Structure 1
Amino acid sequence: MDQIKACRSFVRAVELGSLSAVAREQRSTQPTVSKIIAALEKELGVRLLERSTTSLTPTEQGRRFYARAKRVLEEFSEAVSDARGLTERPAGLLRVNAPLGLGQLRLNALVLEFLALYPEIEVELILNDRFVDLVEDGVDVALRLAGSLPPNMIARKIASAERYLVAAPAYLQRHPEILTPDDLAAHRYIGFARPANGEVTTLSGPEGTLEIVTRSRYQVNSSMAIRESFLKGAGLGICPSWLVHDLLESGQLQRILPAWSTPGQEASLLYPSRRYQSLRATVFMQFLTERIPLLPGFSAPSFRR
C-alpha cells in the first residue's frame, strides 16, 4: 500500500468531510478512495472514520492520527521540494480562488498568460464573492480584496486600488447637481450588499473628513451587477477603480466630487502555510505580485508583507 497516498486521502477526507469530495479533488472515484482508507485502517488496526449515509467524522484515534499525519505530509512535501531543488519544474494542478468581478474583468486574462508561460501547470480558477476556506476547499492560492482576512492564513498585500464616487452622465442629467458631499443624501445610492437602512460613507477632501449617510433601495453582492447598474443610470455609488477604469476613460461613467476621496481597497494573496508551497504556487504568486499592480485601476502597495 502507498502509505503517503493513503495518508493524503485520509487527511483530505477529514478536512472535506466527504469521500466523494476527496474523489473529485483527486480525479478518482468514491469507491476507490473508500478502499484506500479502509486499507489504511486495516494496516493500522484501528478505525479512523465513522461513516454514515449523511456524514463522515473521525474517531478519537482518527483525530489524533490526522494531526500527526498532516505534519508528516507537510514535512514530506518540504523534503521533496528541497531534494528537487533547482531541477524541479513548475507542474501540476493549481486551484485558485478570486472574486467574481475581478476574475472576469482582469484575472482571467492574466491566468491565460500565465498558462502560456508554464505549459506544464493546470489552473482551476474558482470565481465567487464569498470567503472560501482554503484548507477545506483545497485551494492553493486565493486573491482577496479588502475586508477582514482569515487569521489562520498567510496574507501578502500585493496591490492597492483607489475608490471613486461614480455615476452615468444620463443619471446626473436627470437628478439634482452634486456640488458638495451633503448633496449625496438626496440621490439614489447603489451599494454592495449593505444594510437597507443606510451606510455611513467616509469622505476626505478640502473641508477635512466627513461622514455621509447614504440610503439605497438596491444592494447587490456582485461587483459586475453594480457596474451594470451604474451604466444603466440606476444610481450613483462608490466602487474600486479597477472595476470602472475603462468606463471612466470612455466617458460612460463620470467621477463625482473628484476632490473628495474614500479609503482605498487592498488586494492580498492568501495561502495556507509558510512551511511548504509547491513551486507552481510560488511562481503563480510571484507572477500576480508583479502583474496585478500594473493592471488598470491598480497600483503598487505602500508596503508588502
Structure 2
Amino acid sequence: MDRLKAMGAFVRAVELGSLSAVAREMSTTQPTVSKLVAWLERDIGARLLERSSQRVLPTEEGARFLANAKRVLEEYEEAVAEVASGVREPRGLVRISAPVALGELRLGALMLEILSDLPHLQVELLLEDRFVDPVEERVDLTIRIGGVLPADLVARQLAVWPRYLVASPDYVRRRGRPRRPEDLAAHDYLRYAGRSDEEVRLTCADDSLVVNLPSRYRVNSAIALLNAVHSGAGIALQPCWMVDGALREGTLVRVLPRWTGPAQTAHLVYAPRRRLPARVQVVMERLLASIATW
C-alpha cells in the first residue's frame, strides 16, 4: 500500500470532513478511500477517524497524528520540488483563485505571460467572488480583495488601490459635472449590490465626509457595473486598476477628481508551510511584482 497516498487521504478526510469528498477529489470511490485510511490505521496501530453517516472527525490519536502527517507530506513535496528546481525550470500545476473581474480584466493576461515564459508550468485560474479557502479547496494561492483575513493562513499584501468617481463623457455632457460631493445627490449613482445602506464615504487631502446617495441600479457584478458606467448610465466608484486605461484613453472621465472612495486592499493568501514549491514560488513572485503596479 502507498503510505504517502494513505496519509494524504487521511489528511484530506479531516480537512473536508467526508470520505466521499476525498474520493471525488481523488477521482476514485469512497470504499477505496476508506480502505486507504483503514490500512493506515492498521499500519500505525491506532484509530485515526471517527466515522458517521454525516461526516468524519479525527480521534484524539488522529488529531495528534494530523500535524505530523501534514509535515511529512509537505516535506516530501518540497524535496521533490527542490530536486526538480535544481535540474530544470519550475514545472507542474499551480492553482490560483481570484475575483472574477480581476481575473477577466487583468490576471488572465498575466497568466498567459507567465506560461509563455515558463513552458513547463501549468496554471488553473479559478474565478469566483467568494473567498476560496486554499486548504479546503487545494488552491495554491488565493487573491483576496477586502474582507476578513483568516488568522490561520498566510496573507501578503499585494496592493492598495484608490477608488475614483467616474462617468462616461456622454453622461457628463448630458447631466453636467458635479462640483462638490453634495452635487452627487442630483445624479444617477450606480453601485455594487450587496449593501443595504446608501451612504458613500469620500476623502480628499484635508477633508472626509459621508454623502447619502440612493441608487436606482445595483448589480452584483463588477464588470457589469463598469459596463453600465461606460454606457452612460451614471456615476460610480471604481478601483483604479479597473479604470486607469479608460481614463488615459478618454472613454471615461473622473468627476470630483480631488475626492476618492474607500481604497481596495488586495492580499495573496496561502496555507502556511515552511517552504513553497518552486512552481508556486515563481508565480507568487510574479504576482507580487505585477499587481503592485496596477
TM-score range, shorter chain: 0.7 to 0.9
Aligned twin of 1:157: 157
1:246 aligns with 2:225: no
Greater displacement, 61-70 / 72-81: 72-81
Aligned twin of 1:186: 186
1: CA distance between counterparts of 2:53 and 2:93? Answer: 30
Aligned twin of 1:225: 224
* Aligned pairs for 1:45-124 within 5 A: 45-81=45-81, 86-87=86-87, 89-124=89-124
Give the residue type in structure 1 aligned to 2:162: E
1: CA distance between counterparts of 2:23 and 2:254? Answer: 50
Contact 1:160 1:264 in 2 (8 A): yes
Give the residue type in structure 2 aligned to 1:226: L
Alpha-carbon shift at residue 2 of structure 1 (Å)? 1.9
Aligned twin of 2:204: 204
Contact 1:50 1:58 in 2 (8 A): yes
Contact 2:143 2:267 in 1 (8 A): yes
Contact 2:188 2:234 in 1 (8 A): yes
TM-score (norm 1): 0.84
1: CA distance between counterparts of 2:221 and 2:198? Answer: 18
Secondary structure, in 3 states, of the residue corresponding to 1:21? helix
Structure 2 unaligned blocks of 5 or more = none
Give the residue type in structure 1 aligned to 2:152: N
Alpha-carbon shift at residue 32 of structure 1 (Å)? 3.4
Contact 1:146 1:267 in 2 (8 A): yes
Alpha-carbon shift at residue 60 of structure 1 (Å)? 3.4
Secondary structure, in 3 states, of the residue corresponding to 2:156? strand
Instruction: Give the share of equivalent positions with the same residue, in percent.
Output: 48
1: CA distance between counterparts of 2:125 and 2:85? Answer: 27
Alpha-carbon shift at residue 49 of structure 1 (Å)? 2.8
1: CA distance between counterparts of 2:131 and 2:105? Answer: 19
RMSD: 2.6
Aligned positions, number: 294
Alpha-carbon shift at residue 28 of structure 1 (Å)? 4.4
Alpha-carbon shift at residue 6 of structure 1 (Å)? 1.0
2: CA distance between counterparts of 1:5 and 1:246? Answer: 48
Secondary structure, in 3 states, of the residue corresponding to 2:162? strand
Structure 1 unaligned blocks of 5 or more = 299-305
Secondary structure, in 3 states, of the residue corresponding to 1:149? coil
